[in-house]
Amino acid sequence: MPNIIKEITLEKVNVRALSQFLALAGVAMVLPFFIHLQWLTGPIINAILILILFLVGVRSAMVVALVPSLMALAGGLLPAVLAPAVPFIMISNALYVLSIDRIYDWSKSSSSGYLKGVLIGSILKFAFLYVSVSWIVRLLIKQDLAVAVAKMMSWPQLVTALLGGVIAGLVLKWLKRF
């Protein structure tokens, strides 16, 4: 009986999708511990979110969307004073992934749908993060530090989201995924 259960379970598991998820999620989790540059880590993490979305699915991408900000905080890329902003960073990553997924699905053309999704997703991520973090930072941090922190969570987020979309788009074209 246990052998039958093992066989049925193995038949239902997509080993390729599982290995892609584990590899990409692993990179997203450990990258902030080794690379402390927002301009490098940000685009890579955003690209990973999109790659997981297109290779494994929206549920898996949503799971990974919640992890990088915690790792960035633990790894020192995100200053400790920004710990209260972590839930908002998670939500902004989820907005990014969901926007790309929905707009791509609604579009008839895969390449234009992808580009529209990345553009709108990047703008939504930036706008949500900028407004929420600016509000939180002003409540919790001294004014001079608040300006520096709000700047880190403003236009660089838009640029890194767009760059992540470009990187993921190139990889997905190479993999012939759209």
Q: What is the C-alpha separation between 39 and 154, in angstroms, rounded?
A: 13
Among the CATH numbers 3.40.50.1820, 1.10.1760.20, 3.40.190.10, 3.30.1330.60, which is that of 2-174? Answer: 1.10.1760.20
The mean pLDDT of 25-38, rounded to a whole number, is: 82
Q: Which residues contact 54 (CB under 8 A, 6 or more apart)?
A: 168, 172, 177, 178
**pLDDT at residue 142, as a whole number:** 65
Q: What is the C-alpha separation between 45 and 39, in angstroms, rounded?
A: 11
Q: What is the C-alpha separation between 172 and 178, in angstroms, rounded?
A: 7
More confident residue, 99 or 28: 99
- Boundaries of every domain in the chain: 2-174
Query: Looking at the predicted structure, is the pLDDT value of residue 49 above 80?
Result: yes
Q: What is the C-alpha separation between 132 and 128, in angstroms, rounded?
A: 6
**pLDDT at residue 19, as a whole number:** 87
Q: What is the C-alpha separation between 17 and 151, in angstroms, rounded?
A: 37
pLDDT digits (tens, 9 = 90+) for 55-111: 999 999 999 998 877 777 777 766 777 778 888 889 999 999 999 999 999 987 788
pLDDT digits (tens, 9 = 90+) for 100-155: 999 999 987 788 899 999 999 999 999 999 888 878 777 766 666 656 666 666 78
**pLDDT at residue 73, as a whole number:** 76
